[in-house]
Structure 1
């Protein structure tokens, strides 16, 4: 979808995908209501189950709504044969999902916290990601979507606040998607569920109840691998995803008071990511700043930095800046020091522009 160009991304035109569903960069028309992020996820799951009898939702405690209540009401409406609890075994959850998807179903697996996804790492990396490739496309598990709440939550500490997206971005054969808001979460999740490839969908748990916006009630999708320019500017390009976008937006507003014009991009899909949109922006601004909650070393920001340096070396007017988490386990009482905050980003913006 990256080939559609920046004009299409900003104009928000709609078109139809191979499955006859609406893709849209603006959600299209139709009635909507104010929802928080977990309610938008819940609405997407209702639509997925209602529109496809092959769709199933399963995971730890999903039968009564899950820890964050994203699956509330699903079992009552669609029955325990399609929405059901699993044992406390992440490897088993994903392994079962691979088999279910390989039989032509839409397997929507929930990992209770992204921190708990590591026991399933082998199933995701060595099975789901390679399933199509090792058979020469004779069989696949493309109907698998793995949902997991990720990132800081304000009080989670080192076992409930991690951002493990970079681990999966290294693996060919799967897609990694992270929404920034309720409207985005619904459209992107429906796209992931209907995509013909296995997808890891990380949901920023910090925003489950904090982020509220108008969400269309109809069935819509956003194209994957298509970044969105959510604020145009001329002096520096900022790239992020998930909950970090709201922090970056605040930094952009403060930077404007000092006469700095920031272009802000939500990557949305990390793998395969939209290099063209970021490159076009950096060629205009000459500067790039990337921010994410995960530790800076080996974070996905490093991949973005390396790719843009290769593509835009002669256009860059300053080194690429990264404002990320620290290279420590995620702390509890020192979370405020660990997190990439508005002031850290603002300082990096000024330093990069004044380089």
Structure 2
């Protein structure tokens, strides 16, 4: 179904607030009710999953459609590829994004390439869902954002919802898409509520959204860093600085047009993501900005990303590692202060 007219994720009077995790659950329930070929498989999903976002699905749809699997991500991903190739629409849950490395061959060399290798005669409606992000004391092996790995692979789509409204609409679109799609949810956002309509709706994959308009600096953000960028915008507004915030929604396909249009208006750009800054996906966005809007840039493109280090377990060190609105503010001020010699 198409996107409803109301697209502002922030709940207003009379609107229905729903937590991010509950929006994921609702999207899956709608997809499974409307299409008998949709099923969910993963470790502990029948009992709700490690974050309880699948609670109640096994009771409604049974354990033949909400399938608990062994702790074997390679086999789980292979199950999804095979099921999708034979006409089903599997949703495969990789408990933490860090574990996806075990399934790289199935996703990168099989799912992403089979449609191409069969001359387009084969569909691959596989959805891989996972959670990512630091700041929860989960240490180095349960806290990474690794979206850049998958954006580099032709044939895969990469979705990064920043709020509950987008999580529902983008997940429904991903499940109904005929291509393999990785949907990355943020751990720290699972309990955050925004306005979510009850009806069935989809948001287009490959379309960014300007969530705040401004004239001075464009901040291109993904996932949790959208909220951090909006918080930075509120702080800087008190100083008379107007930030335009672009929510990527999907990293691949990338909506370069919306990004470039915004940067050509403001003349300055900052890219913000939670992943490690070095070789992060933000570098691709920065490159496209300088290629397409160099004549309008008043300062180098700034980047906000995590240090080149594993995510620490110690709370004091993790707080230093995780990016937040302070880092966005700092990058915006640097862009505004830059002057050509």
The TM-score range, normalised by the shorter chain, is over 0.9
Task: Report SS of the residue matched to 1:75.
Answer: helix
2-structure distance, mates of 1:91, 1:140: 21
Q: Which residue of 2 aligns with 1:128?
A: 111
Q: Which residue of 2 aligns with 1:16?
A: none
Q: Which residue of 1 aligns with 2:131?
A: 149
2-structure distance, mates of 1:208, 1:153: 13
Q: If the length of structure 2 is used for normalisation, what is the TM-score? A: 0.95
Match of 1:86 among 35, 45, 69: 69
2-structure distance, mates of 1:180, 1:294: 14
Where in structure 2 are there 5+ consecutive unaligned residues?
9-13
- The 5 A counterparts of 1:178-257 are 178-209=160-191, 211-257=192-238
2-structure distance, mates of 1:224, 1:258: 35
Task: Report SS of the residue matched to 2:120.
Answer: coil
2-structure distance, mates of 1:199, 1:24: 22
2-structure distance, mates of 1:256, 1:27: 23
Report whether the alignment pairs 1:338 with 2:321: yes
Contact conserved, 1:27 with 1:221, CA < 8 A, in 2? no
Match of 2:267 among 282, 286, 291: 286
Q: Please, what is the CA RMSD of the aligned residues?
A: 1.3
1-structure distance, mates of 2:15, 2:55: 20
1-structure distance, mates of 2:143, 2:254: 24
1-structure distance, mates of 2:311, 2:231: 23
2-structure distance, mates of 1:238, 1:344: 12
More displaced stretch, 126-135 vs 252-261? 252-261
Contact conserved, 1:32 with 1:217, CA < 8 A, in 2? no
Q: Shift of residue 24 of structure 1? A: 4.1
| C-alpha distance after superposition, 1:181-231 (max 9, x if no partner) | 11110011000000111100000011111x112211110111110000000
| C-alpha distance after superposition, 1:228-286 (max 9, x if no partner) | 00000000000111111111111111111111111000000000100000000000000
Deviation beyond 6 Å, 4+ runs, structure 1: none
Q: Which residue of 1 aligns with 2:11?
A: none
2-structure distance, mates of 1:224, 1:22: 12
Task: Report SS of the residue matched to 1:132.
Answer: helix
Match of 1:277 among 258, 283, 287: 258
Where in structure 1 are there 5+ consecutive unaligned residues?
1-20
Distance 1:68 1:177, change over 3 A: same
Match of 1:174 among 149, 153, 156: 156
1-structure distance, mates of 2:244, 2:41: 39
2-structure distance, mates of 1:27, 1:231: 13
Q: Shift of residue 343 of structure 1? A: 1.5
Task: Report SS of the residue matched to 1:347.
Answer: helix
Q: Shift of residue 85 of structure 1? A: 0.4
Q: Shift of residue 32 of structure 1? A: 5.7
Report whether the alignment pairs 1:266 with 2:247: yes
Contact conserved, 2:135 with 2:322, CA < 8 A, in 1? no
Q: Shift of residue 80 of structure 1? A: 1.0
| C-alpha distance after superposition, 1:105-152 (max 9, x if no partner) | 1110000111111100111100000010011112131x1000001112
Q: Which residue of 1 aligns with 2:25?
A: 42
Q: Which residue of 2 aligns with 1:103?
A: 86
Task: Report SS of the residue matched to 1:179.
Answer: coil
Task: Report SS of the residue matched to 2:71.
Answer: coil
2-structure distance, mates of 1:274, 1:305: 13
1-structure distance, mates of 2:138, 2:233: 28
Q: Shift of residue 25 of structure 1? A: 6.5
Q: Shift of residue 26 of structure 1? A: 3.1
Contact conserved, 1:173 with 1:198, CA < 8 A, in 2? yes
**What is the number of equivalent residue pairs in this alignment?**
331
Contact conserved, 2:47 with 2:54, CA < 8 A, in 1? yes
